[in-house]
Amino acid sequence: MGDNVLLREKSDNGASALAAGNGAPTSNKQTFTPRPEVWAEVPDEQWNDWRWQLKHRLNSVEELGQIVNLTESEKRALRANNLFRVDITPYFAALIDPDDSDCPIRKQVIPTDAEMVPFTSMMEDSLAEDRHSPVPGLVHRYPDRVLMLVTTQCASYCRYCTRSRIVGDPTAQFSRTEYDAQIDYISRTPQIRDVLLSGGDPFVLPPKVLDNLLARLRAIPHLEIIRLGTRVPIFLPQRVDDELCATLSKYHPLWVNMHFNHPKEITPEIALACDRLSRAGVPLGNQSVLLAGVNDCVHIQRKLVQELVKIRIRPYYLYQCDLVEGSGHLRTPVGKGIEIIEGLRGHTSGYAIPTYVVDAPGGGGKIPLMPNYLLSMSDHKVVLRNFEGYISTYEEPIDYKPHDPTTCPYCKAKRPEPGQTGITGLLDGERFNIEPMGFEEIHARGGAKHRLRSEDTHKWQPFGIGTETSPVIQIGQPIETANHELL
Ligand SMILES: *Cc1c(COP(=O)(O)O)cnc(C)c1O
Ligand code: SF4
């Protein structure tokens, strides 16, 4: 047996078979995902070659009809010419139950005519990513990190894709000039310490292009971590080969976030791909999308996260499905997400529990939601409940000596977040309020200056807030002029 600890144990998905020959598949037909009849004669070398898999993707009624008993609704959608791109790798198509129109794998990749049904609040770009990008494909939403879209292509296409407006179009690739502009923006913005490569799927880039991009990013001194978001390991585990792992391991610290939605996606092939990535020193995370009829069940989610930690993937986010065109039939109420977290926290390993988030429509970013555990509080006690409904009290110290920011070197050297300190800025004393736009004008009620409302605004200045040591940073103030030093 090989030295592969992961694969020594017998697991219900047959991962033990991978241990043979240091993880190299020997006879894949018995031990790996079974192949439908149409591909029975494809030699193993071809089946296991990611280029073969990409070239033989399925997208028509004729091709998919050979392996799945398509419903009339699916046929109508596959024949429509205005829907989001369809393309499914043979490997992933092999996971579909041919006779079950509710198969959770199938619903993620085969369209139905429900995609054509509009719903209230649906948008093409519900997260306002294109509006909030300083250069094409770069979204700088949070103070210290950016999202960098590097390709419009994926190994297969998810029906609910939040970027269906740009993804899938073979004629709309990001150009060399756009990469240059993205990298230039990151280079001249020292507050960015984290870049997240996404798309599309960065793992479908030609290996040399990916290598070159990573090298250019790694050369930026203030960039601390590089992250990649990918669904390639799920659609095309064959792509996670030694070459890719060797490339990634040159650019540490580098993290990879994957996108599993259902325990059926965890196959021996994927266990092997993730093991390779882990051995290349890449920490692995997962982000799922909560989807009606796919994974909107506490028990499916519990199984999913438990299977993920077995292959050393840490569940990171569970996303509420975005308000994106074509995804209406896959959305759930937000309460479903709360119910799922209620069924995970306490019931299984903390390591296996993702943060449930709603990505705020209009571009507010990710907002975490969870059940309420804080029931009540006094000036010296909080009342808490646990997952079992056990109610307890935590006695707080009455002689707490508050942290002293004037002597703390980290407080003095805090990183600037121009215009974005938000609620923590209120707590920090940078300002005392956040007003809706036009608040002052509304409340002046058109009146002129008068005896009590003079030019002298001193009486409204709260003592100790927004002072010299803690200046109010105006929105749009350039980073260089902020009165802070980088930590
Ligand atoms: C999700 C996301 C990030 C990364 O957010 P984390 O919470 O740090 O994982 C960064 N930029 C954009 C635009 C995002 O949508
Ligand atoms: S892999 Fe990601 S980017 Fe590609 S279609 Fe799926 S959700 Fe969209």
Residues 416, 421, 422, CA angle at the centre, nearest 5°? 175
Q: Is the CB of 83 under 6 A from ligand 1?
A: no
Backbone angles phi, psi at 217, to 5 degrees: -70, -40
Query: CA 341, CA 379: separation in Å to the nearest integer?
Result: 29
Over residues 366-388, the pLDDT tens digits come to 999 999 999 999 999 999 999 99
From 366, 367, 417, the mutation candidate for ligand 1 (largest count of ligand atoms within 8 A of CB) is 366
Backbone angles phi, psi at 286, to 5 degrees: -135, 140
What's the Cα-to-Cα distance from 348 to each of 296, 307, 366, 369, 458, rounded to whole Å? 18, 12, 24, 18, 55
- Ramachandran area for residue 45 (φ above 0: left; ψ -120 to 50: alpha; else beta): alpha
Q: How far is the CA of 147 from the centre of ligand 1 (A)?
A: 6
| Domains of the chain listed by start with CATH number | 5-110 (no CATH), 138-368 (3.20.20.70), 372-400 (no CATH), 404-449+456-487 (no CATH)
From 201, 230, 258, the mutation candidate for ligand 2 (largest count of ligand atoms within 8 A of CB) is 201
What's the Cα-to-Cα distance from 92 to each of 33, 75, 241, 244, rounded to whole Å? 9, 19, 17, 20
Neighbours of 221 (CB within 10 A): 8
Query: CA 75, CA 206: separation in Å to the nearest integer?
Result: 33
The string of DSSP codes covering 122-177 is: -BSSTT-TTTT-SBTTEEEEETTEEEEE--S--SS--TT-TTTTTTT-TT-PPPHH
Catalytic residue status for 103: no
Q: Which helix (H) or strand (E) holds 198?
A: strand 194-198
Of 113, 201, 211, 322, the catalytic one is 322
Which ligand gives the minimal distance to the CA of 365?
A: 1
Q: Is the CB of 158 under 6 A from ligand 2?
A: yes
Atom 7 of ligand 2 has which residue's CA nearest to it? 161
Q: Which residue has the tokens 């507010």?
A: 364
Q: How far is the CA of 157 from the centre of ligand 2 (A)?
A: 6
Catalytic residue status for 279: no
Query: CA 487, CA 476: separation in Å to the nearest integer?
Result: 21
Residues 101, 166, 304, CA angle at the centre, nearest 5°? 45
Strands 313-320 and 138-142: unpaired
Q: How far is the CA of 463 from the centre of ligand 1 (A)?
A: 36
Q: Is the CB of 138 under 6 A from ligand 1?
A: no
CA 360 to chain centre: 14
Q: Is the CB of 165 under 6 A from ligand 2?
A: no
Q: How far is the CA of 239 from the centre of ligand 2 (A)?
A: 16
Whether this model's pTM surpasses 0.85: yes
Atom 12 of ligand 1 has which residue's CA nearest to it? 147
Query: CA 342, CA 385: separation in Å to the nearest integer?
Result: 12
CA-derived radius of gyration, the chain: 26
Residues of the chain short of pLDDT 70, as ranges, are 1-31, 467-487
- What's the pLDDT score for residue 172? 84
Catalytic residue status for 385: no
Contact 46, 40 (CB under 8 A): no
Catalytic residue status for 411: no
Of 218, 303, 345, 366, the catalytic one is 366
The string of DSSP codes covering 269-336 is: HHHHHHHHHHHTT--EEEEEEE-TTTT-SHHHHHHHHHHHHHTTEEEEEEEEPP-BTT-GGG---HHH
User: Could you tell me the sign of the dihedral formed by the alpha carbons of 192, 195, 198, 204, in that order?
Assistant: positive
Q: Which atom of ligand 2 is nearest to the CA of 200?
A: 3
Over residues 129-156, the pLDDT tens digits come to 999 999 999 999 999 999 999 999 999 9
- What's the pLDDT score for residue 468? 53
Atom 2 of ligand 1 has which residue's CA nearest to it? 147
Of 57, 107, 163, 264, the catalytic one is 163
Helix 268-279 vs helix 242-249: crossing angle, to nearest 10: 30
Atom 11 of ligand 1 has which residue's CA nearest to it? 147
CA 144 to chain centre: 17
CA 157 to chain centre: 16
Contacts of 327 (CB under 8 A, 6+ apart): 115, 122, 159, 160, 321
